[in-house]
Chains A and B, each alone.
Chain A
């Protein structure tokens, strides 16, 4: 019998805990359990036999921690030998069992490292670590791959890709939730289901972390969202310390009662984790064996996800923010060319605050390396933004590279009814998962009728089905044309929205604002059209969430249609807004100097505008007001009468004023004092000091080339070689990373002898800085500014 057939036709039982049982047989505290596959194979075999006797029919190999980080090449134990031996021991036990439905799961746990950007393990390196284990395990005869105890969705994705790219084995994934119902890295049951089903796993579920009773609320959520079979492998209750050892508080009988409850919720596969024994499994098997078996069924829900949350498309309409897109935006284009990620992040934060639920990400510019840039921007966004992303590119390579490294299940913008387009995108959707936007156009252009667009929608869904992509993963865009050139355009689009929804049962999406192109007061037409489309059943709108009228129409529609319980979201958005504050007079506000000194951002921006309106020259504002104010704050900080937060608030206020002044300078840049390269050195992820220095240098008109954190010496040398760079600032926190600071300085000296080097960071002292060859030790950010002025102004 094949595992995949058993999975859909009968209840299966995993084995239980191994750690405590191996400890009872003599495993020491610091000893790696996997080594016993070679050192004490008999003890591992005994364990397998005990679980088979208890009624388990899936044996996990003793390979949980077997990876090249723990067993590096050339070490005492060979990784492949350990994995092969582990699989062989389980297979021998399987083969000796008379039952036909016993299977061996190649067990893979977390790597023990955090992936970038929170840690230092690259996504592809994680894939490679798992690939090594999968190859050995599959060759040794495992029946399936079990990826378990994952507390990071991104690492789980790396492991699934490794399993699928290096074997044909079915893949089962279980993750660990805390008592808050979330993964350690923030994911929810719904976001985890979205990611894993998108990747095409064969079953998924929960293990470790909690006892069976505490798992029930999580299991209920999994049942609600998951379409594949579910696995639940709890601990024997919660751990308690007892005489210096960890013990679990739920015995076999109690465990079995809870497992019965869990089986009744609609879970197909049951087993145990830490603290459970063959007795626990036997009791659970006894309780659950004769319970009716319900095979997994498609829940038909359309989900996209980020590392942190899932967004469901339907029944309530979803707003997708369109602002991360360079089309027609000069500043945005420049930010992309400069890799000014901070600018893009702030566009994202503004849309999130305005209520967007998904963000479209488009970085297409003619002369740009789009695959690399899309990945760079996407990774920066997914590091800090909890909203799912819609990857928007017509370049299949850019799409694949971004989909591969996306931490969740993205929306994809877009495929069309053209054969070439579908052939390029659908294999990617099948492999990586995603909800794909299908444009109702094909080789013959955009059909002039709703009937024609419906036909293309049908073609897209049918073709997707041939790739194994269900129609719940497709959202059709019937396309919005301009009513000023085509009077029937809106009517046709609205008809198409309704018919695609009703006749095909497929979700729809529109970019709404095109409809009013060329008309005055476009917002009036746009909101009316948007509301009409929602009434036709529109599921997603791509729009500017900073537009209050459109967001009002969206929230109003949901309140009216009973999609917003007790109008809660509507009230949350608009409650308490009846009175609008009186506009601040631009003439009698506090002076710009005061605003900078007090650290008032809004005040400083307004005062700068007032000064410009009053006829003051932009550069005069900078030189005679802003810089002296900053100097005053800086001196106060250095004397100890002002503190770091005040220094920074003033810096931010000055920055807000600079931006106003800059905008008034008709595109010209403020004359720069010169370019300074800043980086936190390789191996170091602590960058707060570097970020503070950056803001202050920018205030003083230095052009900062910020290379970020964990930066290789070679990249710093390359940036330092650019024309105009006279100063490089390096930060490092610990003795272990000062080593790479020293190496960076060595490389800078030999390649760029003309640049000066200033260093800072917790562990550094003037003597230490001198010893590693720096030109200057800066004890704080103001000291760096002073040194930079010295270097550039002589």
Chain B
């Protein structure tokens, strides 16, 4: 089982490097246990051929208009479609906490967000091992830049993710279970330039949860 990076959970709770007091720390540890107990992390991926074209990319026979995705996949020879989820148990846990124990609910939310990212990072490490001598670019998800959220259903369908890992989208293209991630990952022959800064590269510079890179 992948463990929750505690510092990331704290960052989602608004602690930008600050340390929590004793009571908060104790509750956080309890909620990390609860979320990890409720989580059933699963992920899946599929390799697709990649062609870059002006204004977008072709992933096999799937054509996506997105300058940002195209720029992100520059220099890649193939792409991976990727999906991961913590499962509905975490949704139920958060809903349960929300009924009268909102501190717990907020913590569950933050812990689960940190955990799914850790699950994705671990999955990508495993994927990287399948491509010796190649380099995997960071995950690029629908909703980033001009890669539209409406790509979500098609991405899930191509992953067969409802059947494989129970990951679905609502009619409004939100992922269900809630704590889930989908992404396109470039496979390249060279390390190349990439968004090593993660969230620090986002254009929303006044975000309260922005990771401090200084």
Q: Does B107 touch A at the CB level, under 8 Å? A: yes
For B85, the closest partner residue in chain A by CB is A184
- Most B Cβ at <10 Å: residue of A110, A152, A184: A184
Q: Does A151 touch B at the CB level, under 8 Å? A: yes
Question: Do residues A342 and B162 form an inter-chain contact, with CB atoms below 8 A?
Answer: no
Question: Do residues A734 and B20 form an inter-chain contact, with CB atoms below 8 A?
Answer: no
Count of residues in B whose CB is under 8 Å from the partner chain: 57
Q: Does A625 touch B at the CB level, under 8 Å? A: no
A349 to B103, CA, bound (A): 17
- Whole-angstrom distance from the CB of A359 to the nearest CB of chain B? 14
For B46, the closest partner residue in chain A by CB is A29
- Most A Cβ at <10 Å: residue of B46, B106, B150, B173: B106
Question: Do residues B172 and A688 form an inter-chain contact, with CB atoms below 8 A?
Answer: no
Residues 368-387 of A contacting B (Cβ, < 8 Å):
383-385
Question: Do residues A643 and B163 form an inter-chain contact, with CB atoms below 8 A?
Answer: no
Chain A's interface size range is 35 or more
- Per-residue CB contact flags for chain A residues 239-259 toward chain B (1 = under 8 Å, else 0) read 001001000000000000000
Q: Does A629 touch B at the CB level, under 8 Å? A: no
**Chain A residues within an 8 Å CB radius of B46:** 29
Question: Do residues B158 and A643 form an inter-chain contact, with CB atoms below 8 A?
Answer: no
With A643-B14, A686-B174 already in contact, 5 other A-B pairs whose C-beta atoms are closer than 8 Å? A186-B89, A643-B20, A683-B171, A688-B109, A691-B105
A389 to B100, CA, bound (A): 21
Question: Do residues A645 and B13 form an inter-chain contact, with CB atoms below 8 A?
Answer: yes
Known: A383-B92, A734-B173. A645 touches B157 (CB 8 A): no
Question: Do residues A649 and B99 form an inter-chain contact, with CB atoms below 8 A?
Answer: no
Question: Do residues A345 and B24 form an inter-chain contact, with CB atoms below 8 A?
Answer: no
Known: A114-B177, A685-B178. A648 touches B106 (CB 8 A): yes
Q: Does B196 touch A at the CB level, under 8 Å? A: no
Known: A184-B88, A646-B24. A691 touches B172 (CB 8 A): no
List 22 A-B residue pairs with CB atoms under 8 Å apart, sorted by A's residue number. Answer: A29-B46, A29-B158, A30-B62, A30-B157, A112-B163, A113-B168, A113-B170, A118-B176, A118-B177, A184-B87, A184-B166, A341-B99, A345-B100, A383-B92, A599-B23, A645-B103, A652-B103, A685-B178, A688-B98, A736-B149, A736-B174, A740-B172
For A690, the closest partner residue in chain B by CB is B98
- Most A Cβ at <10 Å: residue of B27, B102, B105, B178: B102
Which residue from B89, B103, B143 sits with its C-beta under 8 Å from A735?
A: B143
A345 to B130, CA, bound (A): 47
A644 to B105, CA, bound (A): 12
**Chain B residues within an 8 Å CB radius of A652:** 101-103
Residues 299-318 of A contacting B (Cβ, < 8 Å):
none
A694 to B105, CA, bound (A): 13
Question: Do residues B98 and A687 form an inter-chain contact, with CB atoms below 8 A?
Answer: yes
Q: Does A174 touch B at the CB level, under 8 Å? A: no
Question: Do residues A684 and B24 form an inter-chain contact, with CB atoms below 8 A?
Answer: no
**Chain A residues within an 8 Å CB radius of B48:** 29
Q: Does B64 touch A at the CB level, under 8 Å? A: no
**Chain A residues within an 8 Å CB radius of B21:** 646
A342 to B101, CA, bound (A): 10
For A246, the closest partner residue in chain B by CB is B46
For B23, the closest partner residue in chain A by CB is A599
Known: A151-B166, A241-B130. A683 touches B174 (CB 8 A): yes
**Chain B residues within an 8 Å CB radius of A737:** 172, 174
Question: Do residues A384 and B149 form an inter-chain contact, with CB atoms below 8 A?
Answer: no
Q: Does A598 touch B at the CB level, under 8 Å? A: yes
Tell me the A residues contacting B by CB distance below 8 Å.
Answer: 28-30, 109-110, 112-114, 117-120, 149, 151-152, 178, 180, 182, 184-186, 208, 241, 244, 341-342, 345-346, 349, 383-385, 598-600, 643-646, 648-649, 651-652, 683-688, 691-692, 694-695, 733-737, 740, 779-780
Question: Do residues B95 and A383 form an inter-chain contact, with CB atoms below 8 A?
Answer: yes
**Chain B residues within an 8 Å CB radius of A692:** 102, 105-106
**Chain B residues within an 8 Å CB radius of A691:** 98, 102, 105
A598 to B21, CA, bound (A): 10
For B162, the closest partner residue in chain A by CB is A112
Question: Do residues B23 and A345 form an inter-chain contact, with CB atoms below 8 A?
Answer: no
A652 to B105, CA, bound (A): 12
For A646, the closest partner residue in chain B by CB is B24
Residues 139-192 of B contacting A (Cβ, < 8 Å):
143, 149-150, 156-158, 162-163, 165-166, 168, 170-174, 176-178
Question: Do residues B94 and A688 form an inter-chain contact, with CB atoms below 8 A?
Answer: yes
Interface class of chain B by DSSP: mixed
Known: A184-B87, A645-B20, A688-B109. A114 touches B99 (CB 8 A): no
**Chain B residues within an 8 Å CB radius of A648:** 102-103, 106
For A647, the closest partner residue in chain B by CB is B103
Known: A648-B106, A736-B173, A736-B174. A113 touches B162 (CB 8 A): yes
- Whole-angstrom distance from the CB of B111 to the nearest CB of chain A? 11
- Whole-angstrom distance from the CB of B113 to the nearest CB of chain A? 10
Residues 69-90 of B contacting A (Cβ, < 8 Å):
78, 87-89
Question: Do residues B14 and A685 form an inter-chain contact, with CB atoms below 8 A?
Answer: no
**Chain B residues within an 8 Å CB radius of A600:** 23
A-B CB proximity, top 8 nearest: A683-B172, A244-B47, A184-B166, A648-B103, A112-B162, A120-B170, A119-B176, A384-B96
A241 to B45, CA, bound (A): 9
**Chain B residues within an 8 Å CB radius of A119:** 168, 170, 176
A651 to B208, CA, bound (A): 21
Question: Do residues A736 and B172 form an inter-chain contact, with CB atoms below 8 A?
Answer: yes
A346 to B162, CA, bound (A): 33
- Whole-angstrom distance from the CB of B110 to the nearest CB of chain A? 9
Which residue from A208, A649, A736 sits with its C-beta under 8 Å from B24?
A: A649
- Whole-angstrom distance from the CB of B214 to the nearest CB of chain A? 17
**Chain B residues within an 8 Å CB radius of A349:** 96, 99
Question: Do residues B170 and A683 form an inter-chain contact, with CB atoms below 8 A?
Answer: yes
A485 to B20, CA, bound (A): 61
Question: Do residues A28 and B163 form an inter-chain contact, with CB atoms below 8 A?
Answer: no
Question: Do residues B91 and A644 form an inter-chain contact, with CB atoms below 8 A?
Answer: no
For B102, the closest partner residue in chain A by CB is A695
For B103, the closest partner residue in chain A by CB is A648
Question: Do residues B40 and A114 form an inter-chain contact, with CB atoms below 8 A?
Answer: no
**Chain A residues within an 8 Å CB radius of B102:** 648, 651-652, 691-692, 694-695
**Chain A residues within an 8 Å CB radius of B197:** none
- Whole-angstrom distance from the CB of A708 to the nearest CB of chain B? 10
**Chain B residues within an 8 Å CB radius of A114:** 88, 166, 168, 176-177
Residues 20-47 of B contacting A (Cβ, < 8 Å):
20-21, 23-24, 27-28, 40, 46-47
- Whole-angstrom distance from the CB of B49 to the nearest CB of chain A? 9
For B78, the closest partner residue in chain A by CB is A244
A688 to B99, CA, bound (A): 11
A302 to B15, CA, bound (A): 52
For B12, the closest partner residue in chain A by CB is A644
- Whole-angstrom distance from the CB of A224 to the nearest CB of chain B? 24
For B28, the closest partner residue in chain A by CB is A645
Q: Does B198 touch A at the CB level, under 8 Å? A: no
Q: Does B212 touch A at the CB level, under 8 Å? A: no
- Whole-angstrom distance from the CB of B36 to the nearest CB of chain A? 14
**Chain B residues within an 8 Å CB radius of A695:** 102
**Chain B residues within an 8 Å CB radius of A684:** 172, 174
**Chain B residues within an 8 Å CB radius of A30:** 60-62, 157-158
**Chain A residues within an 8 Å CB radius of B87:** 184
A342 to B28, CA, bound (A): 23
Question: Do residues B163 and A110 form an inter-chain contact, with CB atoms below 8 A?
Answer: yes
